[in-house]
Structure 1
Amino acid sequence: GAAFGTKQTESWIELESCITLRNQVSRIFLYVFLSVGIVCTVVGNFLVVLSIAYFKQLQSPTNSFVMSLAVADCLVGLVVMPYSMIRTVEGCWYFGALLCQLHSSLDVMLCTASIFHLSCIAFDRYYAVCNPLVYSLKMSRSRVALLLVICWAVPTLISFGPIMLNLHIAGVDILLPKDVCVFLVNRFYAVMASLVAFYLPMAIMLIAYWKIFKAAKRQARQISAMESQMAAGVGKDSSKKQRHRNTMKRERKAAKTLGIIMGVFLIFWMPFFTVNIVDPFIEYSTEVIVWDIFLWLGYINSSLNPFLYGLFNRSFRRAFLIIYNTHCTSNNVKDIWTFNTVS
């Protein structure tokens, strides 16, 4: 999660209160810039949730994970990012020790849940592309439901449990001012939480995508061979072959989309979790500004996920446009009926 930060300097121990170092212009700029990011996160993810809930065509096992992912990312924008924005801009925490603890717990839980969902989407796509004959068995409703429970239960256990019981700071003898909300953690928690929240899901995504990539290349060769046969005069069952080619094309596009999503995920989360593990072993000497930059890079991943789906998935693009037309034009009934009835 985004609040695994472990930053501290000796001067903080001596401070009785926080000090706002930014000037008025930079504070206004940061508030505007970060507020735009928060609005994009909430609106974009809400559109994904609304699209899947409203249109039956989008209600598939894969999109069950997409919808739950969007819920997690939307909550990041609603309950985590606004408080983090104030803390980043002001350098102070105005909301009390208990809310600081709750904010840290929600930060860890929701960001970890978001990452878990991305690994489940990769796992789902692996079976769809590499083992299509057993896909319906492996990704049954009960299996999808179990994975969704895991996506929410494990992040909750590694966040609220240790944080509310102060297990994450066991052995850390550092006192912080009451108006500073810094999530300080010991070495054990930093390593274990980072492994569970990031490195394990990352490994699952990398393995799944590599297998999907190899399967897509193999399918492309099969399609090429089939087209050569058709060019030689084999015209029987051409409609069936056309459907098969279209299916393979869609699966390759899904693999490409997954690869881009995974690439973005690694770019925006890898810096944070790398420094997160290293920092306790260098006596919490990482600069605060470095933590803030890496923290907000991680938040940006929650902002980008819905736009990635909207950009690369034609069904989601159509759903977004229809939802827009529903509120901005009078031709919504026909569009909604057409979307839900066209397979």
Structure 2
Amino acid sequence: IINILKAIYLMYTSSLFCCLLAGVISLSSNIVVLIMFVKFKELRNATNAIIINLAFTDVGVAGIGYPMSAASDLYGSWKFGHTGCQIYAALNIFFGMASIGLLTVVAIDRYISICRPDIGQKMTTCSYTILIVAAWLNAVFWSSMPIVGWAGYAPDPTGATCTINWRNNDASFISYTMAVIFVNFIVPLSVMFYCYYNVSVTIKRYKASNCLESINIDWSDQMDMSVVMIVMFLVAWSPYSIVCLWASFSDPKMIPAPMAIIAPLFAKSSTFYNPCIYVIANKKFRRAIIGMLRCQTRQRITISNQVPMTASQLPLNQ
């Protein structure tokens, strides 16, 4: 019994530490990213508008999800009541689904810009606005359904967080889970794979014909950044999907407590590594961050003009 109590204590302590550390890193890093876009107008184009929205989803999780989870870990159980549980779970699902939708929009943008420039030339700022709004509306729909009765929200077995009530695996939960996994995991993943596969084929074809210099240099940078984000998206959301599938087709009581804790933590993890990916994989972002760290009043971000720019590369005010 003593060993079991020690294991439970270690589990809660580790979860609390992870929540606090991830929350601080995520909130501060995403605020830096948003400040970067405010400070350097050269970064404000249609593609980066999607990144700005992604940063807002990360700030939402960091500002709401991590603090409430950490407080409950410290308390030993969920301490914000039924209403707090509904709000917490809905917001976390909302920001998570929005993030998935926006990552899908990034993939579509890269495909149109590189593989279908004929369509890219016709895209306007309004077109990108519609895609971004669609991602947010999709998130509103799926996060609100458990509140109105399709499945439901409840504290998880550890009491550290609130999420989809996968302990009650009735027909409502199973149908909701299958729909969410199909619409917000399988479909986006298929779209991303199709887009990035065709992008890689197109770039290889340019390389083989020694015409790579005709491609705007930003495309390769943004493709690398986006592919890494997709891989990390899989790392983040796969454990949560596995837990939901397990609960749907097996006994939820058989789900190990460590997995029940790790799954939501992994789902939130993208909030602090996304900003790192922005900076590491994109030369313009690195220059902007260096300019901010040096307290420069202005750091010119040169935009390549080797080929006519598509709408995704045009400033947002055009």
* In 1: Cα distance, 2:302 partner to 2:220 partner: 25
TM normalised by structure 1 equals: 0.77
How far did residue 31 of structure 1 move? 2.9
What is the match of residue 134 of structure 2?
Answer: 150
Give the alignment of 1:110-189 within 5 angstroms. 110-138=95-123, 140-160=124-144, 162-169=145-152, 181=162, 183-185=164-166, 186-189=173-176
* In 2: Cα distance, 1:179 partner to 1:142 partner: 41
Kept in 1: contact 2:22–2:66 (CA 8 A):
no
- Please tell me whether residue 283 in structure 1 is matched to residue 251 in structure 2: yes
How far did residue 248 of structure 1 move? 4.9
Kept in 1: contact 2:239–2:263 (CA 8 A):
yes
Kept in 2: contact 1:108–1:155 (CA 8 A):
yes
TM normalised by structure 2 equals: 0.82
What is the match of residue 98 of structure 1?
Answer: 83
Root-mean-square deviation (Å): 3.0
* In 2: Cα distance, 1:20 partner to 1:195 partner: 39
What is the match of residue 311 of structure 2?
Answer: none
Kept in 2: contact 1:45–1:306 (CA 8 A):
yes
Cα deviation, 1:134-179, whole Å, max 9, x if unaligned, reads 31313x111111111111111111112x222232149x9xxx9999
SS where residue 137 of structure 1 aligns?
Answer: coil
* In 1: Cα distance, 2:64 partner to 2:214 partner: 42
1:219 to 206, 220, 233: 206
Kept in 1: contact 2:33–2:55 (CA 8 A):
yes
- Please tell me whether residue 206 in structure 1 is matched to residue 175 in structure 2: no
Percent identity between the aligned chains? 21
Deviates most, 271-280 or 209-218: 271-280
Structure 2: runs of 5+ lacking an equivalent: 167-172, 305-318
- Please tell me whether residue 293 in structure 1 is matched to residue 254 in structure 2: no
Kept in 2: contact 1:113–1:152 (CA 8 A):
yes
Structure 1: runs of 5+ lacking an equivalent: 1-18, 227-243, 327-331
How far did residue 276 of structure 1 move? 1.3
What is the match of residue 240 of structure 1?
Answer: none
How far did residue 85 of structure 1 move? 3.0
Greater Rg over alpha carbons, structure: 1
Kept in 2: contact 1:38–1:81 (CA 8 A):
yes
Q: 1:34–1:92: structure 2 CA closer, same or farther, 3 Å change rule?
A: same
Kept in 2: contact 1:22–1:90 (CA 8 A):
no
How far did residue 106 of structure 1 move? 0.5
The number of aligned residues is 293
- Please tell me whether residue 305 in structure 1 is matched to residue 305 in structure 2: no
How far did residue 245 of structure 1 move? 0.9
Q: 1:182–1:114: structure 2 CA closer, same or farther, 3 Å change rule?
A: closer
How far did residue 280 of structure 1 move? 2.0
* In 2: Cα distance, 1:40 partner to 1:75 partner: 13
Q: 1:340–1:301: structure 2 CA closer, same or farther, 3 Å change rule?
A: closer
What is the match of residue 34 of structure 2?
Answer: 49
Deviates most, 43-52 or 66-75: 43-52
* In 1: Cα distance, 2:16 partner to 2:219 partner: 41
Q: 1:342–1:260: structure 2 CA closer, same or farther, 3 Å change rule?
A: closer
Q: 1:29–1:187: structure 2 CA closer, same or farther, 3 Å change rule?
A: closer
Q: 1:55–1:178: structure 2 CA closer, same or farther, 3 Å change rule?
A: closer
Whichever residue aligns with residue 187 of structure 2, its letter is L
What is the match of residue 191 of structure 1?
Answer: 178
* In 1: Cα distance, 2:12 partner to 2:258 partner: 14
Kept in 1: contact 2:57–2:99 (CA 8 A):
yes
What is the match of residue 169 of structure 2?
Answer: none
* In 1: Cα distance, 2:87 partner to 2:78 partner: 13
Whichever residue aligns with residue 308 of structure 1, its letter is I
* In 2: Cα distance, 1:130 partner to 1:182 partner: 39
Kept in 2: contact 1:70–1:306 (CA 8 A):
yes
SS where residue 168 of structure 1 aligns?
Answer: coil
What is the match of residue 237 of structure 1?
Answer: none
Cα deviation, 1:174-222, whole Å, max 9, x if unaligned, reads xx99998453151111111222222221111111111111111111112
